[in-house]
Structure 1
Amino acid sequence: MANSILSVGAEFPSFKKTSVVSLEKGNEFYEISSNDHRAAGKWMVMFWWPKDFTFVCPTEIAEFNKHVEDFSDRDTLLIGASTDSEFVHLAWRKDHDDLRGLQFPMLADTSKSLAEELGILETNEKIAYRATYIVDPQGIIRWVSVNDLSVGRNVGEVIRVLDALQTDELCPCNWQKGEATLAV
């Protein structure tokens, strides 16, 4: 039986993991931790995919990369993650046209410890579900979305929810940045 998914209001687990940040020889890897976004006073969006070298995953990763400036403009650290190793991440980035120019880290949770703490490991293969977490600068989970393995997520919706959370106001259904929030 799977663990319960860590959800809204919980503290995001502490982690220190190797990530792929570059294709430049000698600068491929960087250790990233849960303190990076907190120390910088930034929000964090961490999105997970099941496996490298698959079909739905690169469409999502490329779409997040197209919006990397949108996350940066919102003082948000964007991190992609899976349970594959940093070496598999690097090989995939080198092999896939849409992944060579990624501008955010690909976190390697090879021990599966972070995915397990989050409760997002698929029971049979022990790979991560397509989970997305929005975490505030204090390390508290403010939004979680988990998709079945076969369905890609909507990056625009992640940005919309991030915008709404950052208003710290009541936002109605389908609210978009720039629209009025609800008065109490």
Structure 2
Amino acid sequence: MLGIGEKFPEFSVNATVSTDEKNAFEEINNKSFPGKWTIFMFYPKDFTFVCPTEIQSFGDMADEFEDRDAQLMVASTDSEFVHLAWRQNDDRLKDLPVPMLADLNRKLVSQLGIQDPEEGVAQRATYIVDPDGIIRHVSVNDMSVGRNPNEILRVLDALQTDELCPCNWQKGEETLNAA
């Protein structure tokens, strides 16, 4: 699995960005958000149980990520058409303000090393990537356990200080002085 300090892979995928079929799809690649931090939230499958709870929760906080000059994206190995059908049929996802990346050929999950060996789908992995394309945080949850978007936001805040941040540090609190 690619980890901290490594370059996030180059990629180009189709993404579902709307429920309007005329404007539903967009190509997104590693150069789509220059100068921004990027947060990738990989999840196993559309039309499942834990995944929509996470996607909705992260989507509800999209403005907070945006306020930190970060682009949030969710991704699975389902196609952009399956993403569209899911968004059109699940009220929790209809107004999702973030792109849903379709890694249909599993190239990105394979490059990252997060393809589940049993199911062949994306593991429940989260990456925070800095504006230079360097992975600064990675976490992977068991397939049955959803993530906490507040914790990902806290880690992003800590990374953006470029300081030493103690356990449970919150934005606005003092950082550590190593001297």
TM-score by length of 2: 0.98
The residue that corresponds to 2:104 in the other structure is: 110
Give the secondary structure class of the aligned counterpart of 2:32: helix
- Structure 1 residue aligned with 2:23, among 27, 41, 49? 27
Give the secondary structure class of the aligned counterpart of 1:164: helix
Matching residue's letter, 2:115: L
Matching residue's letter, 2:38: M
- Structure 2 residue aligned with 1:180, among 162, 174, 178? 174
Measured in 2, the distance between the counterparts of 1:172 and 1:164 equals 9
TM-score by length of 1: 0.96
Matching residue's letter, 1:61: I
Pair 1:14-2:10 in alignment: yes
Gaps of 5+ in 1: none
Measured after TM superposition, the shift of residue 148 of structure 1 is: 0.9
Measured in 2, the distance between the counterparts of 1:9 and 1:102 equals 30
The residue that corresponds to 1:63 in the other structure is: 57
- Structure 2 residue aligned with 1:81, among 60, 75, 93? 75
Measured in 1, the distance between the counterparts of 2:166 and 2:66 equals 25
The residue that corresponds to 2:147 in the other structure is: 153
Measured after TM superposition, the shift of residue 24 of structure 1 is: 1.4
Pair 1:51-2:45 in alignment: yes
* Residue identity (%): 58
Q: Runs of at least 4 residues of structure 1 off by over 4 A?
A: none
Gaps of 5+ in 2: none
- Count of aligned pairs between the two proteins: 178
Measured after TM superposition, the shift of residue 82 of structure 1 is: 0.1
The residue that corresponds to 1:36 in the other structure is: 32
Measured after TM superposition, the shift of residue 172 of structure 1 is: 0.4
